Structure 1
């Protein structure tokens, strides 16, 4: 069974919809009622739900480094800069979610697109 993913507030709907069509368990910030939550609260929610966190917000790069430095466990963060082609995001996220284990992604900061 593929890993689940928690989508940050401003992730394009096209990404979410396409991943769901591919059988990925997606939870969006909007569905979870966390659209006004702080970045830290969003990541804590991903931890609580045991889902990989996807974002295009650079603030999470700092948060991930702080978590790694302090030894705070998190289920992994996938980061893509703004402007990455939607089709490429979908493909790369699907690959991670279907091929990697939760243990492999634990505490990792993954940059998309893959090369």
Structure 2
């Protein structure tokens, strides 16, 4: 995997997806692994940005937070959003979507960007 993207998985994203992406060479950190469970979403977005990670989430609140950050002139490393029902029974589909993002976008492309999966 040639991409420089690094991911930060929201707490509702399946751990199977994180493990599969890692097996394909992606850099993935989950909220649980970072010890950040139950922290406010804006704090999660700031943490991910400080660590150079794109937030992967089903939580549509992150769409509002991304817009709020931009309106306030605050940068973020990116959000990869998918509706919670889209990959609910298809973890492989989520993995494939993230592998595609990894193959075509860079960290610079994702800065201040929301990618809809």
Give the TM-score, by structure 2 length: 0.89
Unpaired runs of 5+ residues, structure 1, are: none
CA-CA distance at 1:42 after TM superposition: 0.7
Aligned equivalents of 2:100, 2:70: Cα separation in 1 = 24
Q: Indicate the larger mover: 42-51 or 95-104.
A: 95-104
Aligned equivalents of 2:81, 2:107: Cα separation in 1 = 17
Runs of 4+ in 1 over 2 A off after TM superposition: none
Between the two proteins, the alignment pairs up a number of residues equal to 112
2:98 maps to: 93
Unpaired runs of 5+ residues, structure 2, are: none
Give the superposed CA RMSD: 1.2
2:57 maps to: 55
Aligned equivalents of 2:21, 2:86: Cα separation in 1 = 16
1:26 maps to: 28
